[in-house]
Each structure stands twice: as structure tokens, then as C-alpha cells.
Structure 1
Amino acid sequence: MAFSSDNVKIFLAVLDGGSFSAAARMLGRVPSAVSMAISQLEAELDLVLFDRTARDARPTDMARALEPDARLLASTLRQLDAHALAMHQGLERKLTLAVAPELLSVPWAKPLAVLAEEFPSLEVEVLSTPQADAMRMLYEDCAQLAVVFERHAGNDREAFQEFSSEMLVAVISPQHPALKAKKRKLRYEDLYDIRQIAVASRDASVSDPRFFLARQIWRTDNHLATLSLVREGLGWAYLPHSLVQAQIDSGALAAIDFDNISNQLRLWVDVVWNKDKPLGLGAQRFIALMREMAPSRRKGK
């Protein structure tokens, strides 16, 4: 094979420098070594790459034809070196984020743009799954990070960084029978007897009392399915305000105007990881970027 990583570097240096002496200065070598390397490459290729009749080393048409592939190869080799170095320093092959569906609109994706620039070889996988399943993925080593609502109970295996918040509102179809049957505003306790549509794990034994109120609950695994069922008048749901505001404004949904409590449930949003598992460079950098986004009240903690 005529081309190697070294003579590709020399070939491009001569092209960029315009002479063997300029290339030698760029590479920290003597001009004779550069000239000899080019001569050996020409002999192996049986091509004349540079015109030596002039003072400068002028590239021939053959050299210009090879230039694009040579630059691509040099770039690939640099990326390979950077990838190998990053892996040596602890970069994981793949970073998997498990994101609760209700939180797909919060700004967890912004740090990924930074990761893509700093670690271009890092493969990223984003999975949307109910919160309980996202946490289970952490403990089953199927994801390194989970983006979820604050948990109602602590766990000594968890570490977390709070970075945002989300407002949940109870919504229902304006045509739902419960709104028409009552001669008064609904009270919070009325929700117990109205079917609830909830984004939830398939494991019915896993439930968060902040989210699961009704005696009858229909479960979905994503917020869009929940939204569709609520619009059809099949029940009520807690959904992110950012998701439902436009539909409330259009009259497709109604935010429940309770008689005895405010219809607002603001929860903090965390990125969570398993303390028992070492994190790679990508996950560590993602957490650091999330920390920079955290509300000021938390930055000193």
C-alpha cells in the first residue's frame, strides 16, 4: 500500500505549504526528508505528484486528483486518534438516556449538541419510557441516565441533578359527562370517581400517589396516547401545561377549574444515575451541562 498515515501528512503539507522547505517547517522535519518521502511515494504510485522544475513544488494534475481523498483520509485518521484517546480517558461507546414521555419538551436535548461537538464518535440513544420503567432501566444497566420527575421517595442508590421544572395540569374533555352532571365546580376529590388516563409502567404495582388518583385508571406508555384518549372524553389526565395549552386555548380540552384547590402541580425535573455504576466521560459531561442549567436556588448545593 503506497499511502500511509505519515506520507499522507507529508503530501498534504507540501500541497498546503507550496514547497518542500515550507512543508518541512510545518512538520518539524528537514527538507531532504520531506523530499525523499515524496519521491518514494511517487515511485510506489508510478506518478509524478509535484513539478520540481520551478523553485516551488507545484502539484500536478495527478496530485490534485488525489487531494480530496487524501484530505478525507487524514480527517478520518484524526477522528480515529481522537476516538481512541477519548476511550482511553473513559469515553463510553454509547450513552443511553431514558426520558419520561411527559418530559420530552423540557431542555434536556440542548447538552447533546455540546456532546456531539466535543465527542463526535459518541453514539447517543434516547428512549422514551414511563418514569418507573426509566428508573428500572438504570438499575438493570440498560441506560446510564434517566430524565424524570423528582421522586416521592429517596433511594440510596440514586444520585441526581435537578435542572428544570414542569407544570402539570388536570385536563378533561369539555364534553365529558362529569362536567355536565355536576351542578357545581368539580372538587379535587371528585377525580377519584372519574376514570383517569395515565402514562404509566406496565407493572401495575408501581404507582406514584401524586399521579395516580382515580379508582379506575387506564394506562398508556406515552403522553400522546393519553392526550388522544382524554380528548375523546374517556377520562381525565395530568399532562404538562406546555403540551396542552394550545388545545385548552382552542377548546379541545378543558383545564379543570377546581372548587377547592388550584389546578397546578409543579414538579422539579432531574437527571438521575445509579451511584453503583461508574459513568463514562459522555455521561459526566452531560450531567455537568445539566448542572449549568439548574435553577439558581440549587447551584450552591
Structure 2
Amino acid sequence: MIKADDIFLFVQVVDEGSFSKVADKLEMTNSVVSKRISRLEQEINVQLFYRTTRKLTLTDAGRALYGKARLAKQALQDAQDTVTGYGDAVRGKIKVTVPVVSAHILLSASIADFCKLYPDVEVELFVSNRMVDIIDDGYDLAIRTADLEDSSLIARRLIDSHWVVCASPSYLENHGTPVHPSELKDHQCLIYKYEGVGPDNWQFQLNGEDCYIQVCGRFHANSLESIKQASLNGFGISYLPKILIHEELAQGKLLSLLSDYSTKRLGIYAVYPRSRQPDKKLNLLVEHLREAFLNRKGHFY
């Protein structure tokens, strides 16, 4: 007879990536975890993992079971969280994905502070600019800097991130200072390429209307930090979030350009699935992060 606990253990093994990690968390031995997974495989008469000494890889059957079993496990967790929400205790696990810049500048420290405030809360933080599928990948919360269009997700705006066209004093001394967006065609522009493609069309406002100016340059990167470093090195003009270059602007290492025309604004949102009722701990975390952003709003705009 298939046991629900074995199915949920299987989900946890997939999420953690190894028997040993699950064994440590559940205070079991590796052999007990392995035996229970083997028992599940025998009950359903399929192999769920390809096992090697280095890693576990899901079989096709394993992937199919994981997709359904994870949703069932999440539904059970939602039910438990709902009941927990009526009490005073704040406990449980929150799986969060956040973008790189926000993580390094603010979110990692803020989430660590949150864990100090609530010692019974466990946070699993995934830092990446990759646009993960929140539902399929099992995330409770995503922080996203983007123009959101997905109506299947609920989004709460935390703050707006303003972007700044900038260059180093040395670049401007050697190549001149553009005073109109149309002059960018004569300059070396540093282009942020997100997942292989990117905005070589920069957003401005001309005559009261938003428009896009195509730029070009010899330096492309999928990292905003790399674009920033190339700017500091005097290699070209970049279009970057103000939060990323706030200190450099204040110190004069980078100079703001075309401020009368620059209109790029991206909202930073807390996003979670529409099907998931946010529980007490999730609401507290979102509010904690919103306050962290607002406490530094001068760095964003």
C-alpha cells in the first residue's frame, strides 16, 4: 500500500537533491531514506531515480510523479499554514527567488534580519536573474524587477527602480558628452544582454512621448555589475539602475547623463501564485522587505 509519507519524502529528496541532506534534516539515517524510496518504487512498480555515486537524476516516471506529488505536498502545507495563521506562532519554510542586484544590495541582509526576528522560520533563498516558473518550481515568493504581465500571479509593488544613463569622467573627457539621446549613435554604449538577448533599444521621453533609441557598442554582458565595471573603467556609456550606482554617482566616479530624457522605470514586486493564500509568515516577510526597500528609497529614485 502506497504511503503518503513516502511520497512526500520523495518530493523532499528531489527538492534537496540527495538522500543525505534529507536524512540530516529529518534526523534519519541514509539507509532509512533509501529504503523508503525503494519501498515507494516497489509499490508503484516504477523506477523514480537513476542513482550514481555523485548524483540523483529523475526518470521520466519520477518527473511525472514529482509534478503531481509536489502540488499535493504544497496543498497540505497550505492547509497547515492556514491553521497556523490563526495562532501567534510564526513558523515554517518559505522558498524565495530574488534577482542578483537586489539580493546583493539589500535583500540577502534583509531576509537574514527576518530570520533573526522569527527563529522558527526557515528561508530557502535562490538568487538568479532567471525568470523561474514560480508554480512549477515550487516557490512561495519571488521578488521581480520587471513589467509584469502574467495574470496568474498576484503581485504587490514594493518600490520603483529608476535607471540612469551614466559614464565615467574619463570617458566623457575623451569622447565628449551627449546632450541628446540621438547623439548616442556616436558613442560606445555598454549593452545589458539578458539571457542572450537584451535592450539595445534604450527608453527615453522625447516631446512628451516614450520612445526607444537604438544604441550599439562592442561590450555586451548578462551582468549589470559587469556593465557597471566597464563604465567605471571608462569604456563607454551605460544605462543602469540607480540603486546599483548610487555610491559611484555620489562620489563622482560616474556622472549622470541625459537626465531630462531618461524615463526608464521598473517596478520591483513581491509575486506569489494566485492559487496560494499567503499565510502569516509570508505576509510578514513581504512587509519586512517592503520596509527595507522604502528605508532606502533615495537610492532607487
User: With structure 2 as the length reference, what TM-score do the two structures score?
Assistant: 0.51
Q: Is the 8 A contact 2:191 2:200 kept in 1?
A: no
> Which residue of structure 1 aligns with residue 17 of structure 2?
none
Deviation at 1:157, TM superposition (A): 2.1
Q: Deviations over 1:37-78 (max 9, x none)?
A: xxxxxxxxxxxxxxxxxxxxxxxxxxxxxxxxxxxxxxxxxx
Distance of 2:250 and 2:235 partners within structure 1: 20
Contact 1:173 1:254 in 2 (8 A): yes
Distance 1:114 1:242 in 2: 22
**Aligned equivalent of 1:190:** 183
Deviation at 1:155, TM superposition (A): 1.9
AA at the equivalent of 1:236: I
1:228: Cα distance to partner? 1.0
1:174 to partner: Cα distance = 2.2
With over 3 angstroms needed to count, the CA separation of the structure-2 counterparts of 1:206 and 1:267, relative to structure 1, is: closer
Shift of 1:119: 5.0
Once the two structures are superposed, residues 205-259 of structure 1 have per-residue CA deviations (whole angstroms, 9 ceiling, x without a partner) of 788864995234744343322211112222222223343243234443222246x
- Where structure 1 has 5 or more consecutive residues not aligned to the other structure, the ranges are 1-84, 296-301
Tell me, yes or no, if the aligned pair for 1:193 and 1:216 is still in contact at 8 Å: no
For the 8 Å contact 1:161–1:272, the answer to whether it is kept is yes
1:67-106 mapped onto 2 (5 Å cutoff): 88-89=80-81, 93-101=93-101, 104-106=104-106
Alpha carbon RMSD of aligned pairs, Å? 4.1
Post-superposition offset of 1:122: 0.9
The alignment's TM-score, normalised by the length of structure 1, stands at 0.51
**Is the Cα contact below 8 Å between 1:144 and 1:274 reproduced in 2?**
yes
Alignment partner, residue 136 of structure 1 = 132
Report the AA paired with residue 172 of structure 1.
A
User: Structure 1 residues 204, 274: closer, same or farther in 2, change over 3 A?
Assistant: farther
Unaligned runs of 5+ in 2: 1-76, 83-90, 205-211, 295-301
- Which of the pair is proportionally richer in strand? 2
Shift of 1:170: 0.8
Q: Could you tell me which amino acid in structure 2 is paired with residue 173 of structure 1?
A: S
Distance 2:102 2:126 in 1: 14
Among 165, 169, 175, the residue aligned to 1:170: 165
The aligned residue for residue 123 of structure 1 is 123
- Which residue identity does 1:154 align to in structure 2? E
Residue identity over aligned pairs, in percent, reads 12
Match of 2:40 in 1: none
Measured in 1, the distance between the counterparts of 2:255 and 2:198 equals 30
Aligned to 1:229: 230
In the TM superposition, 1:1-301 aligns within 5 A as: 88-89=80-81, 93-101=93-101, 104-106=104-106, 109-110=109-110, 113-127=113-127, 129-130=128-129, 133=130, 135-138=131-134, 140-141=136-137, 143-151=139-147, 154-176=149-171, 180-182=174-176, 185-192=178-185, 194-204=187-197, 210=203, 213-216=214-217, 218-257=219-258, 261-263=260-262, 265-275=264-274, 282-290=281-289
CA distance in 1, matches of 2:280, 2:116: 13
The secondary structure found in structure 2 opposite 1:138 is coil
Query: Distance between the aligned counterparts of 1:198 and 1:143, measured in 2?
Result: 31
Retained in 1: the 8 A contact 2:134–2:272? yes
1:106-165 Cα offsets, whole Å, 9 max, x none, are 5685465335433535133141x33xx2x33536516433323240x5221222111123
- Cα distance in 1 between the residues matched to 2:273 and 2:100: 17
Contact preservation (8 Å) 2:156, 2:269: yes
Count of aligned pairs between the two proteins? 202
Code of the aligned partner of 2:137? D
